[in-house]
Structure 1
Amino acid sequence: MTAVRASDPGAIERAWATRTTRPTVRGNGRLMIVAADHPARGALSVGSNATAMNSRTELLDRLRTALANPGVDGVLATADILDDLVLLGALEDKVVFSSMNRGGLAGASFELDDRMTGATAASTAKARMNGAKMLNRVALDDPGTLSMMTATARAVDELAAHGLIAMLEPFLSRREGGKVVNDLSTDAVIKSMHVAQGLGSTSSHTWLKLPVVADMERVMDATTLPTLLLGGDPQEAPEETFASWSRALEIPAVRGLIVGRTLLYPRDGDVAAAVDTAVTMVR
């Protein structure tokens, strides 16, 4: 991989240009997406292991295992990871979402000023991806929130102009003891949704990426936008996590799952089995 990057960097653009693409929605319309955009924000931990995602080669191996499952529709990641995967041939006939705003580094004093430092609408369109994802943490006492909202609104419009999905991941956030935490109460999630889904001059191509919280029926009643459920960092026992996903997936407005560390770094180390479980629930 490094040899190709050093001797033939144009191979990346050629791989994107010749990749077999697919529409986002096909078949029964349900989606199973794996996520790997955490490292670019400096978020390398999984549970209590602070360095779990340090190894790029290990992450790529885990992603290839997940993407090899025919029930996995695609991947969400930053450009560096997506470029590796396309060179490896792992993105053929897969849905691909780029990650746009990675400026809010985990633990930084400017964490909530989550500016666009990753993909652009233009780069996402050029690579013939399906859309792009943005993190939208709303902290009412941090001016970085306004920068995020302004940048997100612009990106929503730019993606829509290209006919691409804008995947928004909203939270109400605050600092506790110097650390940013997300309010996962039902009403807080609903409020964050209303803020996010109003960004931009059109919502024609906007989707939501939401956490699984209590009373998901009431959460989903707050939007008409297509929604995928996020997995987050696995803190509960796997059985409890999977059970909560299964219940939420029964809600008709939920279109599927977009999960990262829970599937890529399961406690027992069996990526294929964890992915199989998630795929079975989605399908």
Structure 2
Amino acid sequence: MRAYRLHAASWSRIVTHRVRRPEAIADRLLSRRRPDQSVPNDGQMVLLTCNHQVDPRTGAPVDRRELLDRIIEALSIPEVDGVVASADLLEELTLLNMLEHRFAFCSASGDPHVGAISGLGGSCGGVASSTIAASRFDGALLSQRWDARGPPQASQPWCVAADVAELAAHALPTILDLCITDPDGRPEFDTTWTDWIEPLHATTSALATGVGVWITVPAISGLAHLA
């Protein structure tokens, strides 16, 4: 049985705040001490991505308390600069005082096949940039999914560009996570750098200049060709 770092009293406090004192969560978000700089002094940023909904070991839905506990354990490493997670998870980590002077990037995407915030006629389940700003999070993660053999129009890069511009209007930087769906069923890490040329070109061409955007791609073979 796992020995939890997240004690029963702390877990109970999260549940109590959710049910009986939701306003206290908003107050705690406002008082969170954010990092002094947008990028660490060494120019490198290590962020934990904590958007797992399924336990890869069992295929079952993740246990919320265990997920929080493992994040707390990882944040004990000084080199970890922050967390990328859903808004509710960031709220709970803030209540536990785990995000003091650390970066909190909110997962803004709803349906990654369309724009996360603006979308096509709606938010598509995404988190509004105004909500991210009001929560005093430090930025947002947007997902952009591509069909490896489909036309660029099917992946709506202009829709994501509008989302990036909206976040920039709130002085929020964006991590843009590019993904490829391969019709042959290849894992994303088995794609080649040539598969990424068109997605990267279309996405970067659609983005406005002068806004803070970091684009992530997997560690594929020949990645230097895309630099």
Structure richer in strand, relative to its length: 1
Structure 1 runs, 4 residues or longer, greater than 6 Å off: none
User: CA separation in 1, counterparts of 2:196 and 2:135?
Assistant: 33
Corresponding position of 2:16: 3
Query: Which digits, 9 at most, give the CA deviation of each residue in 1:141-196, with x for residues without a partner?
Result: 697623xx3431221101111222111111332444xx796472111123322222
Corresponding position of 1:36: 50
Checking the alignment, whether the CA contact within 8 Å between 1:157 and 1:202 is kept in structure 2 is: no
Greater mean deviation of Cα atoms: 137-146 or 189-198: 137-146
Corresponding position of 2:136: 128
CA apart distance, 1:12:
1.1
Query: Which digits, 9 at most, give the CA deviation of each residue in 1:38-88, with x for residues without a partner?
Result: 32xxxx142x5312x520100000001111221100000011111111111
Corresponding position of 1:193: 200
User: CA separation in 1, counterparts of 2:63 and 2:216?
Assistant: 27
Q: 1:7 to 1:144 in 2, by over 3 A?
A: farther
Corresponding position of 2:58: 49
- TM-score, normalising length from structure 2? 0.79
Q: Does structure 1 residue 25 correspond to structure 2 residue 39?
A: yes
- TM-score, normalising length from structure 1? 0.65
Q: 1:115 to 1:27 in 2, by over 3 A?
A: closer
CA apart distance, 1:6:
0.9
User: CA separation in 2, counterparts of 1:82 and 1:20?
Assistant: 14
Checking the alignment, whether the CA contact within 8 Å between 2:175 and 2:213 is kept in structure 1 is: yes
Checking the alignment, whether the CA contact within 8 Å between 1:160 and 1:202 is kept in structure 2 is: no
Query: Which digits, 9 at most, give the CA deviation of each residue in 1:105-128, with x for residues without a partner?
Result: xxxxxxx45754232211222222
What SS does structure 1 have at the residue aligned with 2:84?
strand
Q: 1:144 to 1:180 in 2, by over 3 A?
A: farther
Corresponding position of 1:252: none
Corresponding position of 1:145: 155
Q: Does structure 1 residue 97 correspond to structure 2 residue 108?
A: no
Counterpart of 1:38, as a letter, is: H
Checking the alignment, whether the CA contact within 8 Å between 1:79 and 1:118 is kept in structure 2 is: no
Structure 2: gaps of 5 or more residues = 1-13, 118-124
Q: 1:133 to 1:180 in 2, by over 3 A?
A: farther
Q: Does structure 1 residue 215 correspond to structure 2 residue 225?
A: no
Counterpart of 1:26, as a letter, is: P
Q: 1:203 to 1:192 in 2, by over 3 A?
A: farther
Match of 1:159 among 142, 151, 167: 167
Structure 1: gaps of 5 or more residues = 105-111, 222-283
Counterpart of 2:155, as a letter, is: T
User: CA separation in 2, counterparts of 1:203 and 1:218?
Assistant: 24
Q: Does structure 1 residue 171 correspond to structure 2 residue 179?
A: yes
- Over the matched positions of the two proteins, sequence identity in percent amounts to 26
Counterpart of 2:16, as a letter, is: A
The residue correspondences of 1:205-244 to structure 2 (distance < 5 A) are 205-219=212-226, 221=227
Aligned residues: 203
RCO greater where, 1 or 2, for CA within 8 Å and sep 6 or more? 1
User: CA separation in 1, counterparts of 2:194 and 2:135?
Assistant: 38
What SS does structure 2 have at the residue aligned with 1:192?
helix
When the two chains are superposed, the root-mean-square deviation of aligned CA atoms in Å is 2.4
CA apart distance, 1:37:
1.9
CA apart distance, 1:198:
2.4
